[in-house]
Amino acid sequence: MKRTLKRVTSVLLLLLCTGILCACGSRNNTSGLTDEEAENWENQTVNFVSELAQMSDEDLDSLLQYGDFYESAVTAWKDNREVLGAYQTTGETTCKLDGGILTVTSDMQFEKKAATVTLTINQEENTPTYLAMEVQRTMGEKMKEAGSNTVLGILVVFVVLIFLSFLIYLFKYINLWAMKQEQKKSGQVQQVPAAVPQAGVQEEDMTDDEELIAVIAAAVAAAEQTSTDSFVVRSVKKVHRNNWKRA
């Protein structure tokens, strides 16, 4: 019973904050805001967010039935509450009216991190329309994220280049595999042509030089009626002319 009462009370408080926001809007016009009006908007925005941060999951889910604004507020808080932690204090808050749309921007400090909360209100309908939360990051966190993105991009480029190089290297094996598959389909086996023996060169029957010289020397000695010791046959040349016809 106590749990149900607490839940109803939390929801009613949050709805009351929203009602006060709308009521404050009735005192504003599209020409601008006075310092007092801007301060009222800023205070009500801070109260709304602080109440939202203290609600349980069941209470937050019960707000979804009240429209798009509550859906955006609940979603923004659930998406960031693990990173932010519990609400603590509020820093600089600004209020700007432009073309019937009132925008309240507040820098809030939570238990773990700071966040910028932006609330927009439709001035003509006197109703809040959207709430957003953006976690503030330090310069070190931004540099760390930028460095991680750079390293990741370089790694992706190198991985793609290595993959392309490997793919190009495999092309020759892919071509060989494709040729083998074509040969299997066609039933033809590629054969290396055997070397065709060249026409045999007729080897001339060479007579032993020493025997040929001896025979010629003997014939010359008989013709000159002398011995083979009186001359020396140094070379033998074949003459194609018919010397017998000349004689």
Strands (E), 19-113: 87-98, 101-110
Distance CA 34, CA 84 (A): 32
Domains of the chain: 2-140 (3.10.450)
pTM summary value: 0.49
- Closest to 87 measured CA to CA, from 63, 117, 64: 117
The predicted-structure confidence for 153-191, as pLDDT tens digits, reads as follows: 999 999 999 998 888 888 878 888 888 888 877 765 455
The predicted-structure confidence for 31-88, as pLDDT tens digits, reads as follows: 366 778 778 878 888 888 889 888 888 989 998 888 899 999 999 999 999 999 989 8
